[in-house]
Amino acid sequence: MDLILILGYLGALIIGVILGLIGGGGSILTVPIFVYLLEIEPVTATAYSLFVVGGVALVGSGKNVQKGLIDFKTALTFAIPAVISVFSVRKFLVPAIPETLFSIGDFTLTKDIAIMVFFAILMLTASIAMIKNTSGSLKSENDEQPSNKFILAMLGLLTGLITGIVGAGGGFIIIPILVLLADLPIKKAVATSLFIIAISSLIGFLGDVNEIQIDWKFLLPFTGVAIAGIFLGIYLNKFIDGKKLKTSFGWFVLIMGIYILSKEIFF
């Protein structure tokens, strides 16, 4: 096993640990690790990311089911359109995007560059949410405002579109939506979000099965290491302040987003 592959598995462990510590955010590192460290082309990297994120979220959801933290009715209202969207994006939209989008002078915008630039923008958005700790400022108790199922479903459709393109779970998008529109307490919103991510990511990955060549000998161990990282993160959560870590991780994601954006556009 070469050094790069070892570092890749170490990255998988870190992804799981971060998810276990702060309940989200770690999956946003999956695509950069695949693309820049393991040199996997972006379309395949986003597909692999969906599988890893989905597998990790599924394990996390198992614990939340036992605790009764998942609101299945709300989850299905959001997840059904999200699943349709992410599967359609992976099955039809991503393969249909031309390899070269356009050229201006010496600059050519390719499919791979466009995916990574979009991903970088998502990272910048997520980093700001983590630095400001917006989820921490959301209400922790239900209020009496009725949920809007139609808007919830439409936002599920939009979130599925984003998830399908970049291969990230989108918890930082889903959690505020569930709190503000579905009136869920923050703990239930986090748990329900994880369940939605598990369903949409894994079914979305099925859209890639016949479109790309999947290296299962690599992908399954990588996912297994990430899952092991969750349990390590949950254990470390007893000793580490998750809120402070979330802010610090937000700054790291911000730097990574700026790096990816500058690398893809200027270098």
pLDDT for 186-229, tens place per residue? 778 888 888 998 898 899 898 888 878 899 999 999 999 999 99
Alpha carbons 267 and 264: distance in angstroms, whole number: 6
What does the block give as tokens for 85?
A: 């969207």
Instruction: Give how many domains the chain has, as a whole number.
Output: 1
Q: Pick from 192, 196, 190, 197: which is nearest to 70 by CA?
A: 192
What does the block give as tokens for 19?
A: 């998810």
116-170-251 Cα angle (round to 5): 70
Mean pLDDT of the chain: 84
Characterize the bridge pairing of strands 100-104 and 107-110.
antiparallel
Residue by residue, pLDDT tens for the chain (267 residues) are 688 999 999 999 998 888 777 666 667 889 899 999 999 999 999 999 999 989 988 988 887 888 888 999 999 999 999 999 999 998 899 889 999 998 888 888 899 999 899 888 988 888 887 787 655 445 544 444 445 788 889 989 998 898 888 877 677 678 778 887 888 887 788 888 889 988 988 998 988 888 788 999 999 999 999 999 988 887 887 787 766 777 887 888 899 889 989 988 876
Instruction: Render 221-255 in DSSP notation, one character per residue.
Output: HHHHHHHHHHHHHHHHTTTS-HHHHHHHHHHHHHH
What residues make up the domain containing 87? Answer: 3-266
Cα–Cα distance list, 237 to 47, 120, 225, 233 (Å): 29, 28, 18, 6
Q: Pick from 221, 220, 215, 249: which is nearest to 233 by CA?
A: 249
What does the block give as tokens for 79?
A: 């997840």
How far is residue 238 CA from its own chain's centroid?
Answer: 24
Which residues are CB-contacts of 81 (< 8 A; sequence separation ≥ 6)? 153, 154, 156, 157, 160
Instruction: Provide Rg for the chain, Cα atoms.
Output: 18
